[in-house]
Structure 1
Amino acid sequence: MKQALRASFSPILNLFERGEGAYHYRPSQRKILLAVGSLFLFLCLVSLYFGIMAGGSGAFIPTLVFFLVSLFCLVVGGLGTDRAVARIWGSK
């Protein structure tokens, strides 16, 4: 299952997994990335809920942005290699 998901999200993952050389990775970086992704997913759902309740389309852009950020964080944090997570944090 993980390999199928990695294959479908390979355009995102390949950007951060390529490269050679040393990098500095700490397991807490992955946990923080997953937590940030979860928080943005929560913000997406709250924004969607209030947008539907308000009956307008003003919440579409924030909902979309929150969803894309959460998707990015959860994909790299959940499926990415240690190098990808380290590159998100700028560790070399």
Structure 2
Amino acid sequence: MKAFLRRLFSPLLSAFESGNEPYTYKPLNRKILLFISSIFLFLGSLVCFLIPSEADKGYYIPVVVFGSLGFVGLVIGLIGNDRAVAKIWNNK
């Protein structure tokens, strides 16, 4: 299953997993990334739920921003390698 998901999200993962420069990785970084990403997804869902039905389209900008950040963070945190997690935190 993980191999299938890595193939499915390979365009996103390749941007973060590329490079050969040294990096510093700590297992706590992955846990923090997953926690922050889940908070972003929760915020995006909450904002989407609280938007009135007759609201302007501009109210959906936070939903897209929080949802995208949460989704990318979860993908990197769950199926990305150590280099991808370190690149998210910019650890060199």
Q: TM-score scaled by structure 1?
A: 0.91
Aligned match of 2:28 = 28
**1:4-62: per-residue Cα shift (whole Å, max 9, x none)?**
111111111101111114211000000010001000000011010011x3531342111
Structure 1 stretches of at least 4 aligned residues deviating more than 3 Å after TM superposition: none
Q: Which consecutive unaligned segments of at least 5 residues does structure 2 have?
A: none
Residue in 2 that maps onto 1:37: 37
Query: Over aligned residue pairs, what C-alpha RMSD do you find?
Result: 1.2
Distance in 2 between residues matched to 1:59 and 1:40, nearest whole Å: 16
C-alpha separation between the residues in 1 aligned to 2:35 and 2:69? 12
What is the DSSP-based 3-state SS (H/G/I as helix, E as strand, rest coil) of the residue aligned with 1:59? Answer: helix
The alignment partner of 1:55 has SS state of coil
Q: Answer yes or no: is 1:55 the counterpart of 2:54.
A: yes
The number of aligned residues is: 91
The letter of the residue matching 1:65 is: V
Q: Percent identity?
A: 45
Query: Which TM-score applies when normalising by structure 2?
Result: 0.91
Equivalent-residue separation in structure 2 for 1:59 and 1:43 (angstroms): 13
CA distance in 2, matches of 1:21, 1:61: 35
